[in-house]
């Protein structure tokens, strides 16, 4: 496709949304305040041995009490968007949207979004970032189809209460991650290792929850509300960019994401996915597949590590090339560095499924940040990572990818799930003893990029 003139000369398009991202359980703290009910992450993080150093999200970065200070930080960065998530159990402590929503919980998010708007920062709201109500897990959680309907009912209420001041909603965050890490590998909450059929069914209920929530939001949110999701597709990237490998990466994008983005955009599971599962295939109906593929206003892509794809003489036409032990990584072992993922994935997603708009809803890096005696955090590794990835995103847009915004993960150091506070992803350092925030070198770099709308 033709180069967009708006993105030429190293610049990003006019009106490009620069933002930062967080999630409720990772930054809020105040786990037992405001009438909040228990989520599976409260349970899981309190089981000895599940999270590094026995860390929990009980206090975390305490954004619940410090959101005004965090908004001031964002103002200094010049960002125009903040992606946050709503804690389901602050709104409905036992997950069921039957009675009235908890006014204190709802009030917190209303104050948060009002303060964002006052600072001219657009709120981008995720409805589910992994903190499933424990009361629903007790009834089978994502193994139980009813959870998908309960999620849609909750989404309807939040949509009706917040859409007067929030114009962008994402249903779920990373169905691929929470189903695989939580229900197949058992390293995330709720810590299960189901068999193949169980995992396939959980994934099906995850995409169904998304689809039913899209329908609920269309019915209950203000007309014109923009509705999407944030998914981390297997980031198919050609091993080297020649025609055969690009073609292979296109095929891999669909197959490797068959139970997730492919189902959501195409309304069916690929034949290869169903054939591979055989007797372990998920049970589903046509009506469910229709709900799952409800039209979206945008798709959010969380992109970190590439999945390198090589053309091969196999039935699927490709193989996955796994990084060797010496391949460059950030502080998290899974975070192999491949800036060109941010070139290829938006382009291939755009070509394959023609979404109306793409946002990069997460991208960022963990690093072993240390504070100097002068109180500075000079994270040159994270700065290099962001510069390299953003250069590739700029090229991607120039070559036609319909990307409207970018949200760096994360504004703040926070509770990195099973890694606890051991892995830091923030562009702002958090001293967890004092809750003092210190913008890192990468925050200064990001500010320059945001201010000039180009990589400097
Ligand atoms: C995403 N992996 O999680 C989440 O959306 C964030 O909540 C999280 O903090 C961030 O990325 C950084 O990890 C992932 O193992 C967790 O491949 C693990 C993986 C990928 C994404």
**Burial grade of 58 (CB within 10 A; 0-12, 13-18, 19 or more):** middle
* Average pLDDT, integer, range 378-392: 98
Atom of ligand 1 nearest to the CA of 174: 5
Lookup: tokens for 427:
């562009």
The reply to whether omega before 190 is within 30° of 0 (cis) is: yes
Q: At what angle do helices 146-162 and 196-220 cross, to 10 degrees?
A: 30
| Known catalytic residue at 174 | yes
> What ipTM, to 2 d.p.?
0.91
Per residue in 100-120, pLDDT (tens digit) is 999 999 999 999 999 999 999
Per residue in 123-166, pLDDT (tens digit) is 999 999 999 999 999 999 999 999 999 999 999 999 999 999 99
Q: Ligand 1 pocket test: which of 300, 304, 421 has the largest number of ligand atoms within 8 Å of its C-beta? A: 304
Taking CA atoms only, the protein residue closest to ligand 1 atom 15 is 334
Output the CA–CA distances (angstroms, integers) from residue 150 to 86, 147, 191, 216, 341, in the order listed.
Answer: 15, 5, 21, 11, 35
Q: What is the pTM of this model?
A: 0.97
Band of residue 200 on the pLDDT scale cut at 50, 70, 90: very high
CB-defined site of ligand 1, < 6 Å = 23, 26, 173-174, 177, 232, 302, 304, 334, 362, 409, 416, 425
Strands of the sheet with 318-321, listed across from one edge: 236-238, 307-311, 318-321
Q: Ligand 1 pocket test: which of 51, 173, 174, 257 has the largest number of ligand atoms within 8 Å of its C-beta? A: 174
The reply to whether omega before 248 is within 30° of 0 (cis) is: no
Span from the CA of 220 to the centroid of ligand 1 (angstroms): 30
Span from the CA of 120 to the centroid of ligand 1 (angstroms): 28
Atom of ligand 1 nearest to the CA of 130: 7
Band of residue 3 on the pLDDT scale cut at 50, 70, 90: very low
* Average pLDDT, integer, range 26-31: 99
Taking CA atoms only, the protein residue closest to ligand 1 atom 14 is 177
Q: Residues within the annotated binding site? A: 26, 129, 173, 304, 409, 416-417
| Known catalytic residue at 255 | no
Q: Residues within the annotated binding site for substrate? A: 26, 129, 173, 304, 409, 416-417
């Amino acid at each position: 496709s033709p180069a967009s003139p708006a993105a030429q000369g190293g610049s990003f398009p006019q009106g490009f949304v620069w933002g930062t991202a967080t999630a409720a359980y990772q930054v809020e703290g105040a786990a037992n305040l405001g009438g909040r009910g228990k989520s599976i992450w409260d349970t899981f993080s309190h089981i000895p041995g599940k999270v590094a150093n026995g860390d929990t999200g009980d206090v975390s970065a305490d954004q619940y009490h410090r959101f005004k200070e965090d908004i001031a930080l964002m103002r200094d960065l010049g960002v125009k968007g903040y992606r946050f998530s709503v804690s389901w159990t602050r709104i409905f402590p036992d997950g069921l949207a039957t009675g009235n929503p908890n006014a204190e919980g709802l009030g917190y998010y209303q104050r948060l979004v009002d303060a964002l708007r006052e600072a001219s920062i657009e709120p981008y709201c995720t409805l589910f970032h992994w903190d499933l109500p424990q009361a629903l897990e007790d009834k089978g959680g994502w193994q139980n189809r009813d959870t998908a309907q309960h999620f849609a009912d909750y989404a309807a209420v939040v949509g009706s209460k917040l859409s007067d001041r929030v114009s962008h909603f994402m249903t779920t965050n990373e169905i691929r991650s929470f189903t695989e890490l939580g229900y197949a590998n058992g390293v995330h909450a709720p810590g299960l290792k189901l068999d193949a059929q169980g995992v396939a069914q959980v994934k099906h209920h995850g995409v169904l929850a998304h689809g039913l929530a899209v329908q609920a939001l269309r019915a209950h949110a203000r007309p014109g509300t923009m509705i999407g999701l944030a998914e981390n597709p297997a980031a198919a990237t050609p091993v080297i960019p020649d025609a055969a490998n690009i073609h292979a990466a296109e095929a891999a994008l669909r197959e490797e994401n068959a139970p997730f983005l492919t189902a959501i955009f195409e309304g069916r599971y690929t034949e290869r996915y169903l054939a591979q599962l055989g007797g372990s295939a998920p049970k589903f109906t046509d009506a469910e597949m229709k709900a799952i593929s409800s039209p979206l206003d945008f798709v959010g892509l969380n992109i970190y590590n590439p999945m390198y794809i090589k053309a091969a003489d196999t039935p699927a036409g490709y193989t996955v090339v796994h990084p060797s032990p010496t391949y460059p990584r950030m502080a998290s072992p899974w975070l192999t560095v491949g800036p060109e993922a941010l070139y290829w994935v938006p382009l291939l997603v755009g070509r394959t499924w023609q979404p109306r708009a793409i946002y990069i809803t997460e991208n960022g890096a963990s690093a072993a940040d240390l504070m100097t005696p002068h109180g500075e955090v000079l994270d040159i590794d994270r700065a290099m990572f962001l510069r390299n990835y953003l250069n590739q995103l700029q090229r991607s847009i120039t070559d036609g990818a319909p990307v409207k915004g970018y949200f760096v993960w994360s504004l703040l150091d926070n509770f990195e799930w099973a890694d606890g506070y051991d892995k830091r992803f923030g562009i702002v350092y958090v001293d967890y003893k004092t809750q003092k925030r210190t913008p890192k070198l990468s925050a200064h770099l990001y500010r320059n990029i945001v201010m000039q709308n180009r990589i400097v």
